[in-house]
Amino acid sequence: MAQLWGGRFTKETDQLVYNFNASITFDRKFYKQDIEGSIAHVTMLAKQGILTEQERDDIVRTLKEIRDEVESGKLEITSEYEDIHSFVEANLIDRLGDTGKKLHTGRSRNDQVALDMRLYTRDELLHTDDLLKELLETILKIMEANTETIMPGFTHLQKAQPITLAHHMGAYFEMFKRDRLRLHDIYERMNYCPLGSGALAGTTYPLDREYTAELLGFYGPTLNSMDGVSDRDYLIEFLSACATIMMHLSRFSEEIIIWNSNEYQFVEIDDAYSTGSSIMPQKKNPDIAELVRGKTGRVYGALMSLLTTMKGIPLAYNKDMQEDKELSFDAMDTVKGCIALFTGMLATMKFNKGKMRLSANNGFTNATDAADYLVKHGVPFRDAHGIIGKIVLYCIERGIAIDDMSLDELKAICPVFEEDIYEEISMETCVNNRLTIGAPGKAAMEKVIEAEKAYLAE
Ligand code: ARG
């Protein structure tokens, strides 16, 4: 048991208590951030004359040495240490003796862990943002290539009106774009440095918190030391953004699973992203999409867990807060993994344009436009709606589409119809007449694609 305290204790810690209390098995994940924070701290201590320049140089050099050895596998982070902070400090003291013992001057593990977790989350946030950008680029490519690929748009999973694949993909583009904007907002709020908050009440050393903050790439120091050590809002916000990303990925996965089904066959997932069955030789299953949909639950779980952990904690630091880590780390890894795999699956997926087109043709997706045709020729909309309803019934009984009816058949139900009805209710017309901002018409879609391209190039 290697721990940083014990002076006022007369008994050894019970082994079970020690294990229950220790966090090394999971906080080892941010050894880099812990060392980065310590380097900034001693750099500031030396600037303030609290440590000598020699002491600073020795500590910084040794901290880097420890980091490199952990990275190369030469130095192992073992559970003989209570947490990552003890591991680093103990190793430093082993190598530097008394100089190493000065690292923790004017610092508490409370502000140290608050810093480490914030640095780690900030890195994860930026990485997640990069992955989202790659996903958006993949979606945009599909959009550019498919402004004329007609497919049915659905409501209630019933064919509704014709759209294009570009338009459908564009909806997901907007969702993931908002996810990125959310991450950027969170970054702006979280990018303040808690180091220097001490245990809860700051310290009596003349720390230059602005300087430490600057060294670590923060906008500045946090402004209340009790809040500084016990704020996990940024993490809750990030997990909430992660939960929303997963919700979007899960919806998209659900559609891909449906589209990939034998009944729809709108898409074919690449062999590299599918799996087989141990018994049914014909099977090619969309497991990646299903796993992404399934993993959404554990990310929601991490958010709920942290919200619940935080809700009863009095100021300032309490050990409950150690529970902010395991599920958060799992959620962060899960989200990154899901975005990356989903992007790969999407980029290699084949779209079966013929099937999409056929499905749009055969689902009365032009019924609204047929009714609008009558309205343009003077029939009040409610009457037009009724007439087209009758026509649809007529078609269903015969297993045909509206376009398959002869002009005589149409006229028999409503004499207003003329030869131009066929052109007016063709899938192309239905789509391309929808030209308001955000609609699927080719010209409208192309404007949006240009704008989104500019956004990605920013
Ligand atoms: N392992 C602890 C955590 O994750 C570090 C802070 C310990 N501070 C303390 N006062 N025991 O929160």
**Which domain does 73 fall in, by range?**
15-105
Set 23, 104, 127, 156: catalytic member = 156
> Using CA atoms, how far apart are residues 289 and 257, in angstroms rounded to an integer?
7
**Whole-number pLDDT of residue 280:** 80
Q: Is the pTM of this model over 0.80?
A: yes
Which residues contact residue 267 at a Cβ distance below 8 angstroms, ignoring those fewer than 6 apart? 256, 259, 260, 349, 350, 351, 352
- Is 320 among the domain residues? yes
> Does any ligand 1 atom lie closer than 6 A to the CB of residue 109?
yes
DSSP string, 261-327: STTT-SEE--GGG-B--SS-TT--B-HHHHHHHHHHHHHHHHHHHHHHHHTTPPSS--GGGGGGSHH
Q: Ligand 1: distance of its center to the CA of 5 in Å?
A: 12
Q: Ligand 1: distance of its center to the CA of 110 in Å?
A: 6
- Whose Cα sits closest to atom 3 in ligand 1? 322
Q: What is the phi-psi region of residue 350: left when phi exceeds 0, alpha when psi lies from -120 to 50, beta otherwise?
A: beta
- Residue 190 — φ and ψ, nearest 5°? -90, -10
> Does any ligand 1 atom lie closer than 6 A to the CB of residue 84?
no
> Using CA atoms, how far apart are residues 223 and 208, in angstroms rounded to an integer?
13
> Does any ligand 1 atom lie closer than 6 A to the CB of residue 322?
yes
Query: Do 83 and 23 lie in a common domain?
Result: yes
**Whole-number pLDDT of residue 1:** 59
> Using CA atoms, how far apart are residues 297 and 69, in angstroms rounded to an integer?
37
> Does any ligand 1 atom lie closer than 6 A to the CB of residue 113?
yes
Give the distance, in angstroms, between the CA of residue 243 and the centroid of all CA atoms in the same chain: 7
* CATH at 35: 1.10.275.10
Query: Do 345 and 418 lie in a common domain?
Result: no
- Whose Cα sits closest to atom 4 in ligand 1? 322
Query: Do 85 and 208 lie in a common domain?
Result: no
Please give, one letter per residue, the 3-state secondary structure of 342-360: HHHHHHHCEECHHHHHHHH
Mean pLDDT, 10 residues at a time, the chain of 458 residues: 74 88 97 98 98 98 98 96 97 98 97 98 98 98 98 96 97 98 98 98 98 98 98 98 98 97 96 84 89 98 98 97 98 98 98 97 93 96 96 96 95 96 95 96 98 97
Give the distance, in angstroms, between the CA of residue 416 and the centroid of all CA atoms in the same chain: 53
Which residues contact residue 181 at a Cβ distance below 8 angstroms, ignoring those fewer than 6 apart? none
**Whole-number pLDDT of residue 2:** 65
Query: Do 75 and 173 lie in a common domain?
Result: no
Ligand 1 mutation target, pool 113, 195, 231, most atoms within 8 A of CB: 113
- Whose Cα sits closest to atom 11 in ligand 1? 319
Ligand 1 atom closest to residue 317's alpha carbon, by position in its atom list: 10
* CATH at 400: 1.10.40.30
> Does any ligand 1 atom lie closer than 6 A to the CB of residue 28?
no
- Residue 81 — φ and ψ, nearest 5°? -100, 150
Query: Do 101 and 143 lie in a common domain?
Result: no
* CATH at 310: 1.20.200.10
Ligand 1 atom closest to residue 82's alpha carbon, by position in its atom list: 1
For the question of residue 156 being annotated catalytic, the response is yes
Query: Residues 30, 124: contact at Cβ < 8 Å?
Result: no
